[in-house]
């Protein structure tokens, strides 16, 4: 199935799966352990890119129905590891994981796709 053919429900599931994987990768690590582990950093960055892609692909209808999520911030943060690889800052990744993702996870549990338009 092509990326654009996926439903909002599937994209939201993709986001939840990415968050779960990031939690699995980083949940047992403290700040210093994370900064010392480039393998975990790179794996977490990959999952954040997947998370951001999925968030950016969720329809405006569903995004507008769920304004408690900062869709733009989640989708645009993926650009940090994807496009600014030459200036990758693990500290920024850590802060995003610690400050943004826990709140996103709790909000995503409540999100349901908006109904399809009938036009």
Residue 117 lies in a domain: no
Domain enclosing residue 25, as ranges: 8-108
The answer to whether residue 23 is domain-embedded is yes
End-to-end CA distance of the chain: 24
Distances (CA, A) of 8 to 11, 23, 28, 115: 5, 23, 31, 10
Tell me, yes or no, whether 98 lies in a domain. Answer: yes
Give 14's contacts (C-beta < 8 A, 6+ positions apart): 6, 50, 51, 54
Residue 45 lies in a domain: yes
Number of folded domains that form the chain: 1
Tens-digit pLDDT profile for residues 81-97: 765 666 778 999 999 99
Reported pTM: 0.85
Evaluate whether residue 100 is within a structural domain: yes
116 in any annotated domain: no
Q: What is the pLDDT of residues 38-95, one digit of tens each?
A: 999 999 999 999 999 999 999 999 999 999 999 999 998 887 776 566 677 899 999 9
Assigned domain for 114 exists = no
């Amino acid at each position: 199935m092509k990326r654009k053919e996926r439903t909002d429900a599937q994209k939201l599931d993709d986001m939840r799966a990415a968050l779960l994987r990031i939690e699995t990768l980083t949940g047992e690590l403290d700040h210093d352990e994370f900064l010392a582990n480039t393998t975990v950093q790179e794996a977490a960055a990959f999952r954040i890119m997947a998370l951001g892609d999925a968030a950016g692909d969720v329809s405006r209808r569903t995004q507008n129905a769920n304004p408690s999520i900062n869709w733009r911030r989640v989708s645009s943060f993926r650009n940090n590891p994807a496009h600014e690889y030459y200036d990758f800052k693990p500290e920024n990744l850590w802060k995003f994981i610690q400050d943004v993702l826990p709140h996103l996870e709790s909000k995503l549990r409540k999100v349901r796709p908006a109904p399809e338009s009938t036009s």
